[in-house]
Structure 1
Amino acid sequence: MKYSILLPVVPARPEQAVLFANLVQWTAAERLWQGQSLVMDSHHLATWLAGIGVRVPMGFGVSLMPMRSPYQAAFEARSVALATGHPVVAGFGPGPTSFQRALLGRPYARPLRASREYATIVRALVSGDDAMVEGEYFSVAARLLKRPAPPVEVGLGVLRPKMAALAGEVADRAITWLLPADHLGETLIPAVRGADRKLESPVRVTAIVPLAVEREGRDATALAEATCGNHLKAPHYQDALRRAGVTVSDHGDAGDAARVVDAGAFLYGSVEHLHDRLAAFAAAGVDEVVLNTMGVAQLHGPKAAAEDLLQILGGAADAAGAGPS
């Protein structure tokens, strides 16, 4: 199983991302992931980093579909691959119904159908094929101008079994967030692997895992709430967590954050303890874990988040019999 880093800050200036992009160069981390930013566009940030010479593999998980057309999504993902010289993982998801309504005027009546069309179009375009889709939500008859570029994998954000099966059918990656390892291994990953796959290449599973190293003056519940408090207020996350056996309320308060910690959806402890808990994701069938230290960055600062990442990744490299690269 590979380890990667989630950018734990939402930059208002691109310089704020340099430290974490450099961690990918200095450690065993596979790539730098970014979530959907509503401050500075993630693709622009990636190309800015490449422009100053910090060129690392990038992952976007997940970009919200209402923000851009599938053609623009494919164009931007390949642009990042060209700028960085590295493969890109471009993950997408429909987002909350309230977000769909705010940007589109109405939510997707069939979000699985919309996701299928979107991923199919983007994947065809980044693969250099003609995208000839006349769909219910997206219709495209186009292709990207052919240029040699590192590959772009297309992913779907996965919280529940139906989207997991869809990712297993039409995507290169299934990207999970905020779900415990046992639920992934027992429910979601079997749905991914058991899908009627339309592609020759096997689907891979990426799990974005919120965590923090236990230190004096830190509180696990406060860190979990800082990391994922907004998600705990979203109905689709509440439903996904309940399916995983986490009895969250409808409010997304500190009590829910504590339940997420107790369930192992937010990991907290010594570096050795964290490695043990992360090993459960590998045993569940996860191919890549993305270390999410956003709560540490919010409550204790970006340098503290970087220190946690260095310790976790250093231990991961030592366990694999190799030092940081």
Structure 2
Amino acid sequence: MAISILLPFMPTEGKEILPFTNLIQEGAAERLWTGQSLMLEPHTALAYAAGAGANIPFGTSVTLLPLRHPFQAALQARSLAALSGHPFVAGLGTGPRPFVQALRGSTYASPLGAVREYTTIVRRLLAGETVELAGDYYGMHGALPPLETPPVQLGLGVLRPKMAELAGQIADVAITWLTPPGYLARTLLPALTRGAEREQRPRPKVTAVVHVSLDAPRREHARVILAATHAHLQAPHYQAMLRLAGIAVDPHDLLATATRLISSGTVAVGSIDDILRTVRAYYAAGADEVVLNTIGLQTVNGTAASLSALNAVAHAVRAEAAVMEESRG
């Protein structure tokens, strides 16, 4: 039962990250993840934390393809593995269509094809190979200079079956966000397995990013969850995924939709016991790692509330895992 935490904001100063890295160093969780930041570039921010003494594993969940060439992606991922002294998870994703259009001048005619080309180049560069690839979206002719570092694992953001099947073929980690545990078990996990079997390789590990809101006086969980998810709930690819999972999305009543995320067990809210119950459901559905995401608490109540919830929940999960391990021994 691996438990990790997500940096719940886009930092504007390096020192803002350090209270969250301290949670990892103190043993509350295993890895600090960050999403795509448009304030401080995420690899730069994590390099600051490593330089400030954060001797912990890091991961991105996810960084967006149009922002960097795959050579730069491989270089940045390898650099963070070297600077942190730990294996690094380089999570990749295409991003929303308008974002891709704005940066490239056109969308990907085949997002799956773009991801396959990009990931293939990054993996082969990290393996020390000379890459000769002229794709429809990305090309590479050359190699990275040799450098011994801890390993880099490649992750793919996965919402729907086709991307999950591709992740099964080419990724080390499948990263889910806002995906209900039942949908993970029924839809995504079988697709990941099909992809892996097609290539005769191990199925990628599953990292599920799960929104959290811990009980506190006057805290309205639906509003906390809405603060964390309102942008995703308005994005067509997230709406399509949630509808496929059986959760009705009403773009004209996002608060009601946030309430359905709670009632469906997609997000973890309530007491420590309530949150543990949801985390267990994700593990039972096939997640290998759960990443606690307090973006909503951070937005509504600030850093102190976010850190307090992360610390309490992460320690509770680890304590339960230790008891289970002891009972099996």
Q: Shorter-chain TM-score category?
A: over 0.9
* Shift of residue 123, structure 1, vs aligned partner: 1.2
* Shift of residue 139, structure 1, vs aligned partner: 1.1
* Shift of residue 250, structure 1, vs aligned partner: 3.4
Task: Give me the whole-angstrom Cα distance separating, in 1, the residues matched to 2:161 and 2:72.
Answer: 28
1:209 is aligned to 210
1:25 is aligned to 25
Task: Give me the whole-angstrom Cα distance separating, in 2, the residues matched to 1:164 and 1:252.
Answer: 29
- Dislocated runs of 4+, deviation >4 Å: none
CA contact (8 A) 1:127 1:152 kept: no
User: Residues 252 and 142 (structure 1 numbering): CA distance in 2 closer, same or farther, change over 3 Å?
Assistant: farther
Number of matched pairs: 322
Question: 1:66-105: per-residue Cα shift (whole Å, max 9, x none)?
Answer: 1111111111011111111111000111111000011111
Identical residues among aligned pairs (%) = 43
**Structure 1 length normalisation: TM-score?**
0.96
Gap runs ≥5 in structure 2: 324-329
Matches within 5 A, 1:284-323: 284-321=285-322
2:163 is aligned to 163
The amino acid across from 1:141 in the alignment is H
Task: Give me the whole-angstrom Cα distance separating, in 2, the residues matched to 1:29 and 1:74.
Answer: 26
Matches within 5 A, 1:57-76: 57-76=57-76
* Shift of residue 201, structure 1, vs aligned partner: 4.5
Q: Are 2:149 and 1:142 equivalent residues in the alignment?
A: no
Task: Give me the whole-angstrom Cα distance separating, in 2, the residues matched to 1:57 and 1:209.
Answer: 19
Task: Give me the whole-angstrom Cα distance separating, in 2, the residues matched to 1:177 and 1:261.
Answer: 14
Task: Give me the whole-angstrom Cα distance separating, in 2, the residues matched to 1:321 and 1:137.
Answer: 47
SS at match of 1:256: helix
Question: 1:198-226: per-residue Cα shift (whole Å, max 9, x none)?
Answer: 37444111111111111211111111111
Matches within 5 A, 1:127-276: 127-195=127-195, 196-198=197-199, 200-251=201-252, 253-276=254-277
* Root-mean-square deviation over aligned CA pairs: 1.3
Question: 1:110-151: per-residue Cα shift (whole Å, max 9, x none)?
Answer: 101001111111111122222232211111122211111000
Task: Give me the whole-angstrom Cα distance separating, in 1, the residues matched to 2:239 and 2:322.
Answer: 40
Task: Give me the whole-angstrom Cα distance separating, in 1, the residues matched to 2:313 and 2:264.
Answer: 21
* Shift of residue 55, structure 1, vs aligned partner: 2.2
The amino acid across from 1:145 in the alignment is P
Matches within 5 A, 1:81-120: 81-120=81-120
The amino acid across from 1:166 in the alignment is L
Task: Give me the whole-angstrom Cα distance separating, in 1, the residues matched to 2:265 and 2:114.
Answer: 32
User: Residues 255 and 165 (structure 1 numbering): CA distance in 2 closer, same or farther, change over 3 Å?
Assistant: same
* Shift of residue 251, structure 1, vs aligned partner: 4.4
Task: Give me the whole-angstrom Cα distance separating, in 2, the residues matched to 1:267 and 1:71.
Answer: 37
The amino acid across from 1:27 in the alignment is G
SS at match of 1:295: helix
User: Residues 197 and 252 (structure 1 numbering): CA distance in 2 closer, same or farther, change over 3 Å?
Assistant: farther
2:49 is aligned to 49
Gap runs ≥5 in structure 1: none
SS at match of 1:121: helix
CA contact (8 A) 2:192 2:203 kept: no
CA contact (8 A) 2:117 2:138 kept: yes
CA contact (8 A) 2:214 2:270 kept: yes
CA contact (8 A) 2:267 2:278 kept: no
Task: Give me the whole-angstrom Cα distance separating, in 1, the residues matched to 2:164 and 2:259.
Answer: 26
The amino acid across from 2:303 in the alignment is P
Task: Give me the whole-angstrom Cα distance separating, in 1, the residues matched to 2:313 and 2:125.
Answer: 37
SS at match of 2:199: coil
SS at match of 2:314: helix
The amino acid across from 2:188 in the alignment is L
Question: 1:157-215: per-residue Cα shift (whole Å, max 9, x none)?
Answer: 00000000000011111110001111100110111012144374441111111111112
**Structure 2 length normalisation: TM-score?**
0.95
Task: Give me the whole-angstrom Cα distance separating, in 2, the residues matched to 1:132 and 1:2.
Answer: 38
Q: Which moved more, 1:198-207 or 1:234-243?
A: 198-207
User: Residues 149 and 143 (structure 1 numbering): CA distance in 2 closer, same or farther, change over 3 Å?
Assistant: same
